[in-house]
Amino acid sequence: MRDTANFASPINLYEAGDHAELRILLITGGWEVRRSFNQLGIQPGDRVRVLRRAPFGGPLEIDNKGTRVAVGKQLAEKIRVEVLP
Amino acid sequence: MKVALAGQPNSGKSTLFNAVAGYRSLTSNFAGTTVEYTHGQARVGGEVLELIDLPGLYSLTPTSAVEEVSRDYLLAGDWDVIVNVLDASQLARSLELTLELLDLESPLVVCLNMMDEAARKGMTIDTHALGIALGVPVVEAIGVRGRGIIETFHTAQEVATGGDRPHAFIYAPEVEGVVEELAEKIAVSAQGQPAAIPKESGAGTEESGVRSDLRTPMESIGLQKSESQESGHLPALDCAEGPLECGGLTPPWNKTQEEGGAKPPHSKALRAISCAVGDCSTACSGHTPATEGPQGPRVPTALAEPAAQRPAVLPPTDFQAVPFQSPITNHQSPILAFPPARFRALQWVQSDPAQIRREEPEIASLVEWAQAGIAVRTGQPADAAVSAARHAACLTLFERVARVARPRADWREQVDRLAMHPVWGYAVLMGVFLGFFRLIFDVGRLGEARILTLFDALVAALAQHMNAQSALYAGVKGAVLGTAGAVAIVLPYLLPFLVGLAILEDIGYLSRVGYLMDAAMHRVGLHGTATLPILVGYGCSVPAVMATRILTTRRDRFIAAFLAVLVPCSARMTVIFALVGFYLGANYALGIYVLNIIVVALSGHLLARLWPEISPGMLMEVPAYRVPAPRVVALKTWWRLREFVLVAFPLLVVGSVVLSLVDYYGWQHGINAALSPLTALLGLPRSVGLTLIFGVLRKELSLLMLMQALGTTHVLGAMTAAQILIFTLFVTFYLPCMATLASMIREIGWRLTLAASTALLALAIVVSLGARAVMLLF
């Protein structure tokens, strides 16, 4: 619902580098997608870290306060993040 | 006393359950679903408790069918107390479900399981403070070591008998006000008619009406917030500040825990917590669950706008019966109006607008109105606002009761560095599965040979004591051979497989497999988790089909089961190698395997097109590695085995009896004649018709029967090389064996099984004809 244009670097989770500290800004993609992430305790504002990614466009594994979650490419692309210093 | 065990997946519920309930417990399916739950009895403190181990659920707004059944069970209220099992090492996240359970305002006990795990992560949890904050008893436990389990159930008993009910978790006014009003409105619209009589009777009172112009409130309000506020389009809230102010949540990205003093999430959460402690005088004053209100029609004050502006467009509702009707039981909760009206309203507010419109059109406009009300006040969709508030509260609560020091060095990190490595991970994967199959085959072959000898002796003994020419003998022999097939051929392979599967599952390796294989499985329209059934299919189709249970949607289960039975199982492997490998050479046999992989990939691709996917992609928790509890492994194996015995054994025995009688009465000519169009089409000798029928009983039988039907063990003399190849191809692809069919019916239902069988048969004909055409050309 918010305008995302004012973020300096609107990159998605899939594009973000490995091992980077990220902050989730927005979960796009509608109710279903939001729910799925919320269920696993992932919300806008959370700090997450990309642990590793599977080859051939496979999922990436992120760590959110000790909960590790594998996120497929399509879903990772629905998450806007900012890279934290 | 009924105790429902609810918790998020991997929280260790089953360990807790199995520690007290044990071998006499049963797995059942929720009515009309393939979702299983376990229930059993345990004697605690002289009283027999009935325990229900529900499938794991992350929240009460589910996204998978499995969670949905758990939720429906909880909301049906057919229990006396809920034991909410939490993984203490994932406390912050696990609390989100707990907060939702508080909203049920029903007896609840929180069991902090895996305290050892939390300690390893460097966490110290103030259980006492957590209990006070939540307003429910909190018990520490280490399920695998048996600690805290009895205490948990004791506490559950006390809570259930004491009748303590926790207070609901209270959200910020901008949410709470709308929710309360929605609850009231729906209650009012429902009270316009006798509560027990649904639908048509009694028109809704005027209060039941909502503005028809708010049918798509999201858009209309989004465009003209301030204006609509004044003109009374939105629910008025007893909110001290301007609604947009107090609803004007700080942008979510400002809401992280490190900003300790940040006001919005904290104040909300703390208020909620203080509220749960019992200091509700201020925070909760505005909140009275509608159920506790007077039963007469109520006119919400907030709706005190001119009645003329409120056309009574809303059809009479049947909300009491519709929303959370449980498929499990017709049991009506003894508590009047359970779940509480506020809880229901809260669920509606968080629900998918499209789904509500589809499934409960009577209340859809009211719900949309409420969602729009929250959306405009919080600047985000209603469900996001509610879950963000809950999330923030959990983080705050977590910070108050837990301290996190440096975690101890963990060998499991190192394991994952290897097991999930982009290159070595696949090597580990292959190693694990090769080892797994090796084990199954070694154990299985050992068992098979010994048990078959026993049965051969039994048949020989029967021949001596009975008239070998009688129909009775033929029937009995068939029954014995059928039992032999089940006991000697399936069991020795199935048992080690089930043990291995339970161990791989409980260690947590399967989710790593899912992670590694996701990209590849996407090519055939599935997710990484579907790898296991298909790999298992190379061993035996029966457990492969059973393994599709780990998949969440019906679609995924169907496609995975279809592909898993398409893969040549070990029985078909013997046919392929004994016929094609022996007579035409190993390269041809390997060629069949390659062809099979191509066909599997193409079929998967096609099926994915025919039945497009709804779920957008993989999102799966990667649990920490755990040492499996032998008791849980044994119980899982036993339940699955028992299921197979009950479903497949009778079929195998009956089928075998029928076939021996066919043989005895000499009906094979008729059958061969009936199948002659097929055999002629494929260019096969007419006498192999019956063989194909036998192959459905057990795949290896098609090989043995082929030699019997041709009257020679030198197949190449009776059939040409081309015929052998076509026969083998057909046997590889056509109908799965009877035991597989039985488990398919069990897992995906008979309709889909029928569809799959027809498709497989057609596929086998196409492949065989294709091979014939190719051979005719060259």
CB pair distance less than 8 Å for B93 and A67: yes
Closest CA to B732 of B560, B554, B598: B598
ipTM over 0.95: no
Phi, psi of A37 (to 5 degrees): -70, -40
Structure tokens at B3: 């105790």
Question: CB contact, 8 Å: A23 with chain B?
Answer: yes
Residue B33 has a pLDDT of 52
Distance CA(B204)–CA(B209), nearest Å, equals 8
* pLDDT of A76 higher than 80: yes
Helix H or strand E segment including B424 = helix B424-465
Residues of A in contact with B519 (CB under 8 A): 54-59, 73
**Could you tell me if B497 lies within 8 Å of chain A, comparing CB atoms?**
no
| pLDDT tens-digit readout, B101-130 | 998 888 999 999 999 888 888 889 999 999
At residue B760, does pLDDT exceed 90? yes
pLDDT of residue B713: 67
In chain B, which residues have their Cβ closer than 8 Å to the Cβ of A57? 519, 522
User: Tell me, what amino acid is at B108?
Assistant: L
Residues of A in contact with B63 (CB under 8 A): 32, 35-36, 39
Neighbours of B642 (CB within 10 A): 12
In this structure, is the dihedral angle defined by the CA atoms of residues B637, B642, B643 and B644, taken in order, positive or negative? positive
CA dist list (Å): A41 to B7, B247, B352? 14, 22, 18
The chain-wide mean pLDDT, for chain B, equals: 75
- Note the pLDDT of residue B427: 94
Nearest CA-CA partner of B631 in B17, B131, B173, B10: B17
pLDDT at B532: 76
B380 neighbourhood in chain A, CB within 8 Å: 1-2
Q: Say how many CA atoms lie within 13 Å of B291 toward its Cβ.
A: 14
A2·B380 Cβ contact <8 A: yes
Q: Do β-strands B26-29 and B81-87 pair in parallel, antiparallel, or remain unpaired?
A: unpaired
> Is the pLDDT score of B714 beyond 60?
yes
Tokens linked to B533: 């059934």
Is residue B271 within 8 A of residue B173, CB to CB? The reply is no
Strands A79-83 and B108-113: unpaired
- Show residues of chain B in contact with A40, CB under 8 Å: 58, 93, 619, 621
Question: In this complex, how many residue pairs, one in chain A and one in chain B, have their CB atoms less than 8 Å apart?
Answer: 152
pLDDT tens track for B244-279? 333 333 333 333 333 333 333 333 333 444 333 333
Bridge partners of A23, per DSSP, are: A47, A82
The closest CB to that of A35, out of B252, B383, B511, belongs to B383
Query: What's the pLDDT at B28?
Result: 64
- Between chains, do A68 and B353 touch, taking CB under 8 Å as contact? no
Q: Is the pLDDT of residue B666 over 60?
A: yes
Cis peptide before B9 (omega within 30 of 0): no
Name the residue facing B387 among A24, A43, A57 (closest C-beta). A43
* Burial profile B594-619: b = 16 or more Cβ within 10 angstroms, e = fewer: ebbeebbeebbeebbeeeeeebbbbb
| Contact call for residues B556 and B526 (beta carbons, < 8 A) | yes
List of chain A residues whose C-beta atoms are within 8 Å of the C-beta of residue B422: 52-55
- Judge contact between B12 and B144, C-beta under 8 A: yes
* pLDDT tens profile B202-250: 333 333 333 333 333 333 333 333 333 333 333 333 333 333 333 333 3
Tell me the shortest Cα–Cα distance from A68 to chain B, in angstroms: 5
- CA dist B725 and B125 (Å) reads 67
Contacts of B254 in chain A (CB under 8 A): 45
Chosen for mutation from B618, B625, B626 (greatest number of chain A CBs closer than 10 Å) is B618
User: B61-65, B145-149, B165-169, B503-507 — which is least confidently predicted?
Assistant: B61-65
Q: Among all residues of chain B, which has the CA nearest to that of A38?
A: B387
Of A54, A66, A67, nearest to B422 by CB-CB distance is A54
Residue range B1-24: mean pLDDT, rounded: 83
Q: Which of B342, B343, B349 is nearest to B381 (CA)?
A: B349
Mean local confidence (pLDDT), B157-166 = 83
Contact B383, B166 (CB under 8 A): no
Contacts A78 to B, Cβ<8 Å: 616
pLDDT at residue A52 is higher than 70: yes
Q: How many residues does chain A have?
A: 85
Contact B608, B558 (CB under 8 A): no
Is some CB atom of chain B closer than 8 A to the CB atom of A10? no
Contact A54, B282 (CB under 8 A): no
Flag whether residue B511 sits within 8 Å of chain A, measured between CB atoms: yes
pLDDT at A19 over 80: no
Dump the DSSP string for B325-376: --SS--PPPSSTTSS-HHHHHHHHHHS-HHHHHHH-HHHHHHHHHHHHHHHH
Rounded Cα distance, B444 and B430, in Å:
21
**Cβ of residue B383 closer than 8 Å to a chain A Cβ:** yes
Backbone Cα Rg of chain B: 31
Confidence of residue B609 (pLDDT cuts 50, 70, 90): confident
Q: Rounded to an integer, what distance in angstroms lies between the CA atom of residue A67 and that of residue B619?
A: 13
Out of 1.10.1240.10, 2.40.160.40, 3.40.640.10, 2.30.30.90, which CATH number does the structure's domain A11-83 have? 2.30.30.90
Chain B neighbors of A36, CB-CB under 8 A: 63, 616, 619
Q: What is the pLDDT of residue B32?
A: 52
**A38·B514 Cβ contact <8 A:** no
B619/A70 Cβ within 8 A = yes
Side-chain-side CA neighbours of B407 within 13 Å: the count stands at 13
| Lowest mean pLDDT segment, chosen from B327-341, B462-476, B542-556, B701-715 | B327-341
Residue B759, pLDDT score: 93
| Edge-to-edge order in the sheet of strand A60-64 | A11-12, A79-83, A21-27, A47-53, A60-64, A67-71, B619-621
Asked if residue B82 has pLDDT above 70, the reply is yes
B759: its two tokens: 């498709």
Domains along chain B with CATH numbers = 2-162 (3.40.50.300), 173-315+340-404 (no CATH), 424-777 (no CATH)
Q: Does A71 touch chain B (CB under 8 A)?
A: yes
The full DSSP string for chain A is ----TTSS--EETTTSPTT-EEEEEEE-SHHHHHHHHHHTT--TT-EEEEEEE-TTT--EEEEETTEEEEE-HHHHTTEEEEE--
Min mean pLDDT across B24-38, B192-206, B739-753 is at B192-206
Contacts of A35 in chain B (CB under 8 A): 61, 63, 352, 383
Q: What are phi and psi of B620, to 5 degrees?
A: -145, 135
Q: What percent of chain B has pLDDT over 90?
A: 12
Domain boundaries, chain A: 11-83
Residue B241: its pLDDT value, please? 35
Q: What does the alpha-carbon distance between residue B144 and residue B133 come to, in Å, rounded to a whole number?
A: 27
Contact with chain B for residue A32, Cβ under 8 A: yes
Taking every pair of Cα atoms in chain B, the longest distance, rounded to a whole number of angstroms, is 98
CA B73-B68-B269 angle, to 5 degrees, is 90
Higher pLDDT, B263 or A83: A83
